[in-house]
Structure 1
Amino acid sequence: MSRKKGDIAEEKATAFLIENGFRIVERNFYSRFGEIDIIASKGAVLHFVEVKSGQEYEVAIQNITPTKLSRFTKTLYVYLKKSSLDIDFCIDAIIVTPDTIELVENITI
């Protein structure tokens, strides 16, 4: 996904999360392992969100590979350590297509 398309998808995902009761904590957190698109909280849970977009849902979600998820997980632990947090968390994905925005909670591969 091009950077511009990615930015647009992340803006839509951020608005979607806010509309659904999430509080945005941080965006585009980087570590040497990778990037977390959105970090949000809802209740007592921190949500680490990967945003993917595409013309079709299936194509977009297939871009979350085991390698990507491994790097993402390492990055979230860097964030937790840097922030000195001991909190419940989950890894989510938001899939943005031309017609829909869907939150997939607690993803694993």
Structure 2
Amino acid sequence: MSLKIGNEAEDKASSYLQKKGYTILERNFHSKFGEIDIIAQKENVLHFCEVKFSQNYDPITRITSSKMNKIIKTINYYLLTHAHSCDYQIDAILVTPENIEIIKNISY
């Protein structure tokens, strides 16, 4: 997938979250372990969001156990380097040409 398509999917996901009342704290947070696409907050809960786009199949299939391990390590690094005292969860935001869907509190 091209960088342009990925950025467009993340822009759509960010707009979707803002319309749902989330505050976007960061986008594309990087560590040596990996990247978090969107970090948002709503009602004293941090949401670490993995954005996946697909034109031809269900984008959730692109979140593998290896990807989840990288996300979790990156979240741990984020929490060490940023002062937050609220709960958190990992969400998947699935973007297709026709739809945007959020799956809350995913695990693998």
What TM-score, normalized by structure 2, do the two folds share? 0.96
Matching residue's letter, 2:94: I
Equivalent position SS for 2:85: coil
Residue equivalent to 2:45: 45
Unaligned runs of 5+ in 2: none
Q: Deviation per CA, 1:18-50: give whole Å up to 9, x if none.
A: 000000011100000100000000001000000
Distance in 1, matches of 2:105 and 2:70, equals: 16
Distance in 1, matches of 2:42 and 2:11, equals: 18
Distance in 2, matches of 1:2 and 1:73, equals: 25
Residue equivalent to 1:35: 35
Equivalent position SS for 2:63: coil
What TM-score, normalized by structure 1, do the two folds share? 0.95
Runs (4 or more) in structure 1 with deviation over 3 Å come to none
Residue equivalent to 1:104: 103
Structure 1 contact 80–86 (Cα < 8 Å) conserved = no
Structure 1 contact 93–103 (Cα < 8 Å) conserved = yes
Residue equivalent to 1:81: 80
Matching residue's letter, 1:69: M
Offset of 1:78 from its aligned partner? 0.5
Unaligned runs of 5+ in 1: none
Q: Deviation per CA, 1:58-82: give whole Å up to 9, x if none.
A: 2x11110000001001001100110
Alignment size in residue pairs: 108
Offset of 1:101 from its aligned partner? 0.1
Distance in 2, matches of 1:71 and 1:26, equals: 17
Offset of 1:12 from its aligned partner? 0.1
Cα RMSD of the aligned pairs, angstroms, is 0.9
For the pair 1:24 / 2:24, whether they are aligned, the reply is yes
State percent identity of aligned pairs: 50
